[in-house]
Amino acid sequence: QQPVQSPQAVILREGEDAVINCSSSKALYSVHWYRQKHGEAPVFLMILLKGGEQKGHDKISASFNEKKQQSSLYLTASQLSYSGTYFCGTHNSDQTGANNLFFGTGTRLTVIP
Amino acid sequence: NAGVMQNPRHLVRRRGQEARLRCSPMKGHSHVYWYRQLPEEGLKFMVYLQKENIIDESGMPKERFSAEFPKEGPSILRIQQVVRGDSAAYFCASSPGLETSTDTQYFGPGTRLTVL
């Protein structure tokens, strides 16, 4: 039930863009994106619901394609503060009554000057 | 509004001892989740609790691990007779419980357990 994230790691120069993908073998109801810096707690970024909606704040946005059972996180004009490991957490459509999320293995993003 | 609080932040135990990890959810949140994270790995779900109820413990090892969320006080994850393989970061998250599947989970700073 664990989603698969790609790429596993990416290095960017400040100002470059990146896309992180999250794919599941299960039908998804919602996708939750988090960023975790080393030694710290995961910080919530955004949640996407089925319906193909796209969300964003500042220069970070995401899309959710329920037919393909995948979500993508878009980081544009990256800043040094974007460095960290990005996790997607998924809630499956058949997961009635249970709120827990299944997390991917993470994508380590490093932004260099 | 204080966030999710966990204590202790670091815990060292010898093999065979017991570890007790505490989690106080955000104010107004009635749902608590425990996740385990091994170095360089993702978060693995362990257990989901509401006040006085275990809703889903499908990710919890059958032996030595238990969790509770009493009517009063923090949620506690208890590991008995710890082994070296229990060394990990244990994160607690809480959510308001308003809507299943879209409830946003907010994470605490974690407890890093080291078993010697």
Q: Is A35 on the interface with B (CB under 8 A)?
A: no
> How many Å apart are CA B80 and CA A36, to the nearest integer?
29
Residues A62/A5, Cβ–Cβ less than 8 Å: no
Q: pLDDT tens, position by position, for chain A (113 residues)?
A: 789 999 999 999 999 999 999 999 888 888 999 999 988 889 999 888 876 566 666 788 998 888 888 999 999 999 999 999 999 999 876 666 567 788 998 999 999 99
Burial class (CB in 10 A: 0-12, 13-18, 19+), A76: middle
Residues B34/A100, Cβ–Cβ less than 8 Å: no
Question: Which of A30, A42, A99 shows the shortest C-beta gap to B107?
Answer: A42
In this prediction, residue A91 carries a pLDDT of 85
Q: Around Cβ B60, how many Cβ atoms within 10 Å?
A: 19
| A44 vs B contacts (CB less than 8 Å) | 104-107
Tell me which H or E stretch contains A61: strand A60-65
Burial class (CB in 10 A: 0-12, 13-18, 19+), A91: buried
Q: Which of residues 52-71 of A touch B (CB under 8 A)?
A: none
Question: Which of B41, B55, B97 shows the shortest C-beta gap to A105?
Answer: B41
Q: Integer distance in angstroms from the first to the last C-alpha of chain B?
A: 37
Q: Is A1 on the interface with B (CB under 8 A)?
A: no
In this prediction, residue B100 carries a pLDDT of 59
| CA–CA min distance B93, chain A (Å) | 10
Peptide linkage before B96 cis (omega within 30 of 0): no
Closest of A107, A99, A97 to residue A33, by C-alpha: A107
| A53 vs B contacts (CB less than 8 Å) | none
In this prediction, residue A101 carries a pLDDT of 85
CA B89 to chain centre: 10
In this prediction, residue A75 carries a pLDDT of 94
> How many Å apart are CA B59 and CA B105, to the nearest integer?
17
* Low-confidence stretches of chain B (pLDDT beneath 70): 1, 99-102
Q: Is B38 on the interface with A (CB under 8 A)?
A: no
CA B8 to chain centre: 12
Q: Is B10 on the interface with A (CB under 8 A)?
A: no
Chains A, B: CB pairs < 8 Å: 72
Closest of B100, B53, B103 to residue A94, by C-alpha: B100
**Tokens at residue B110, please?**
């974690």
DSSP A77: S
In one-letter notation, the amino acid at residue A101 is: L
Instruction: Tell me the backbone φ, ψ of residue A81, rounded to 5 degrees.
Output: -70, -10
In this prediction, residue B40 carries a pLDDT of 77
In this prediction, residue A96 carries a pLDDT of 60
- Cα distances (angstroms) measured from residue B79 to each of A1, A56, A62, A81, B8: 25, 40, 38, 36, 14
